[in-house]
Structure 1
Amino acid sequence: MSQEKGKLVYSCEIPVRWGDMDAYGHVNNAVYIRYIEEARVQLIEKIGVEMDPNGLAPVVINVGCTFLKPVVYPDRVRIDCYVKDPGRSSFMTEYEIYSQRSPESPVSIGYAKVVWIDHRTEKSVELPAQVRSFVS
C-alpha cells in the first residue's frame, strides 16, 4: 500500500476454511486475493451498485498483495477496506487483513484499482455520482 492511507469505508469478516491452506500449512497466497475480492464485492454492494456484465459496472485493472504473517485454520480474517485517489473513471482500493488470532497488526495488505466501464463498448466511463460521493 502507499504511504498515504485512504478513507476507511468498509470492514467485513471472512472465516478461514480448511481448504484455504496449502502444503505449507498456512493460507495460500492466492486465497488472499479472493479475500480482497470478496471484501470489494461487498463494498460495491454497500454503495448500491449492481454488478451488470452487460452495462456500466466496475472492473479491476490491477491487484496486488503483500504477505506479512501466516494465517492458519481455524481462524477468521477481518478485511478493512480503504478508498482513495478518485479519478474520472476510477479509484484505488486498499485493504488491511487482520487475523482474529493476532488482531494487533495486519497479516497482509493489498490493493486493487477499480475502473468503471461500459461493457458494451469496453471503454471507461465516468464514475456514477453515488460512487464518486462515496469514494471522495
Structure 2
Amino acid sequence: MRHSYRCPLRWSDMDAFGHVNNAVYLRYLEEARIDFLAGVARRAAPEAFTGGTVVARHEIDYLRPLVHQPDPVVVELWVTKLSAASVTFAYEVKDTEGAAGPYVRASTVVVPYDFDEQYPRRLTAAERSFLEGYFDDSQHG
C-alpha cells in the first residue's frame, strides 16, 4: 500500500527558470513523511514515532521539470526496507492524474531517534507492524 499526500505548489518554490527548485523537492518529501508519520501512523498506533526521527540519507532522481501550476502534486510514499533501527521510504512526485509519469523518484532512510537521550533507537513492535502495511515494491521501488 502507498500513502498519498497532496502537496500544494508555492510561487516561492520556483527557480529563475520557472521550475520547482531542486532543493524544494526535499521539502515536498518531508511534508509527505510528516503527514504519514505524525498523522497516519499515530492514528493507527498512538505511541508510534512520538520520540521523533532523523533523516540519515536522501537520494533523488529528477525525471522531468515541474513548473508552477494551480493544482497540487501528489507525493506517494511507501516502505521499501525495514531494519531493526531504520526504515527506507520510496517516493514518487507526480500530477494528480499521474498520466505523464513522475517528476521525481526518491528514497529516504529514516532513523527513529530519542531526542531526550540524543541517541538513535530501535523501531518499536507497533511501529514495525504499522510500517509493514506500507510495503509496495511493485513499481520502481
Q: Could you tell me how far apart the structure 2 residues matched to 1:111 and 1:38 are?
A: 14
TM superposition shift of 1:32: 0.6
Aligned pairs, number: 126
Gaps of 5+ in 2: 133-141
* Deviations 1:43-101, CA, capped at 9 Å, x for gaps: 1021005765xxx3211111121111111111421011011211111110110010247
Report the 3-state secondary structure (helix = DSSP H, G, I; strand = E; otherwise coil) of the residue aligned with 1:29: coil
Report the 3-state secondary structure (helix = DSSP H, G, I; strand = E; otherwise coil) of the residue aligned with 1:34: helix
Partner of 1:82: 78
Identical-pair percentage = 33
Root-mean-square deviation (Å): 1.9
Do the aligned partners of 2:7 and 2:73 also contact (CA within 8 Å) in 1?
yes
Structure 1 residue 47 corresponds to structure 2 residue 41: yes
1:99 to 70, 95, 98: 95
Report the 3-state secondary structure (helix = DSSP H, G, I; strand = E; otherwise coil) of the residue aligned with 2:127: helix
1:69 to 61, 64, 67: 64
Do the aligned partners of 1:50 and 1:57 also contact (CA within 8 Å) in 2?
no
TM-score (norm 1): 0.83
Partner of 2:28: 35
TM-score (norm 2): 0.80
Q: Could you tell me how far apart the structure 1 residues matched to 2:8 and 2:116 are?
A: 36
Do the aligned partners of 1:79 and 1:97 also contact (CA within 8 Å) in 2?
yes
Do the aligned partners of 1:13 and 1:77 also contact (CA within 8 Å) in 2?
yes
Do the aligned partners of 2:48 and 2:127 also contact (CA within 8 Å) in 1?
no
Amino acid at match of 1:71: L
Q: Could you tell me how far apart the structure 1 residues matched to 2:12 and 2:96 are?
A: 18
Structure 1 residue 126 corresponds to structure 2 residue 119: no
Report the 3-state secondary structure (helix = DSSP H, G, I; strand = E; otherwise coil) of the residue aligned with 1:126: coil
TM superposition shift of 1:104: 3.3
TM superposition shift of 1:124: 2.0
TM superposition shift of 1:111: 1.0
Following TM superposition, where does structure 1 have runs of at least 4 consecutive aligned residues deviating by more than 6 angstroms?
none
